[in-house]
Amino acid sequence: MRLSATVLLLSAAAAFAQQQPYDLLLKGGHVIDPRNGINAVRDVAISKQRIAAVAANIPASQARKVVNVAGLYVTPSLIDLHAHVFQGTEGKGLAGGNSSIHPDSFALKNGVTTLVDAGSSGRRNFAVFKKDVIDKSRSRVLALLNIGGMGMTGGADEQNVADRDAEAAAALAKAERKTIVGFKVAHCRGADWTPVERGVQAGTLASIPVMIDFGEFRPERPFQDLVLKKLRPGDIYTHCFYPPVPMLDDKGVLMPYLRDARKRGIIFDVGHGGAAFEFRQAVPAVKQGFPPDPISTDVHSGSINAGMKDQLNVMSKFLNMGMTVEDIILRSTWNPAKIIKRERQIGHLSVGRLPTSLSSASSAASTPSSTPTAPAWTARRNLSAT
């Protein structure tokens, strides 16, 4: 009798489990998934920590747990294409020093699950970065390897052209393909093109993109030549709204060479940072049809406590410039996934992928620009993570 009762209970439990194939159901949210062309109210079902279904009106009875997300946007997890997370105590500056920030201390609460460290480490200290940060973080951390051997120390190491070894950097990138997704050239002060050329050479050898922070803008190496001649299709210029970038003519009209560079396949990244973004550049560019390709933060210990703050705050700035939520999500999910060639794994809500992040659009107090010479505008909308 006891055996029969036990069998009956187990059979009932198995039948009930079959009726509830989902572990979690996010019900009634506005799903924005640019990769799959979804911009509508949908339910998202998750099973075994993977997306199992995205559809309208999935019955609540099919899930063990149901969360009502009506009024919220449900999006792919956000990707920050330009971060500095090589935090440590033995290094200097962004390269294992206290200028970088540990990814888990800020990313996940803002809906960011993938960060691309933009050149904090070079080939000489990448192993330390991987052991101490990448392998131990809950956040997914990928890397753009600095073409300089010691990465972004903030000192003379960064200007040592002799230590910019393209072949050695490419060899390491090939050996660490799961983590290294590109190269970074940054903070150049010299008058010649050698650092850029070494970065492009490494990218060619390893078949991955290079990101350029142009450093000092000098007449001997014009910015126009960088994006029209030196970089390859798929390469990235970061800090695209940095004041020294020649963006507008005397009448405030976008310079034609920028559209030509984009047609060549050059990627223009925000890389907000602490002082690499100005509304006087961004507002007219966006209004004239030249938005950034990816939206990124350039997060570090300075920018996180200044006007940048976090990924959602940077996204909200473009929301207030008139870009749509769908377009902003595109540039924070699917676009960066494609740029780093990780479109199979991240950046969308396809069945079988890792789960979502939630963000909500809410009203914020009006905040006029604090810069007297900047274009007059008022921020009224902001995105926040839930």
Q: What is the pLDDT of residues 349-384, one digit of tens each?
A: 999 988 766 555 543 443 333 333 333 444 457 888
* DSSP for residue 221: B
Enter the tokens of residue 229.
Answer: 């001649």
* 321 CA to centre of own chain: 20
Enter the tokens of residue 317.
Answer: 């700035």
Lowest mean pLDDT among 165-179, 202-216, 345-359: 345-359
Query: Mapping DSSP to helix (H, G, I), strand (E, B) and coil, where does residue 268 land?
Result: strand
Pairing of strands 22-33, 50-55: unpaired
Q: Which CATH class is domain 78-350?
A: alpha beta
> Which pLDDT does position 380 carry in this prediction?
59
Contact 95, 156 (CB under 8 A): no
pLDDT at 175 over 90: yes
pLDDT at 112 over 70: yes
d(CA 202, CA 165): 8
Quickly list DSSP for 66-103: EEE-TTSEEEPPEEEEEE-----SSSBTTBTSSSS--G
d(CA 318, CA 378): 12
d(CA 122, CA 151): 4
Question: Average pLDDT for residues 278-287, to the nearest whole number?
Answer: 98
Residue ranges per structural domain of the chain: 78-350
Question: Average pLDDT for residues 151-157, to the nearest whole number?
Answer: 90
Average pLDDT, the chain: 90
Contact 60, 25 (CB under 8 A): yes
> What backbone torsions phi and psi does residue 118 show, to the nearest 5 degrees?
-95, 75
> Which pLDDT does position 374 carry in this prediction?
35
Tell me the one-letter amino acid at 21: P
Instruction: Output the CA–CA distances (angstroms, integers) from residue 310 to 22, 140, 184, 189, 210, in the order listed.
Output: 33, 17, 22, 28, 24
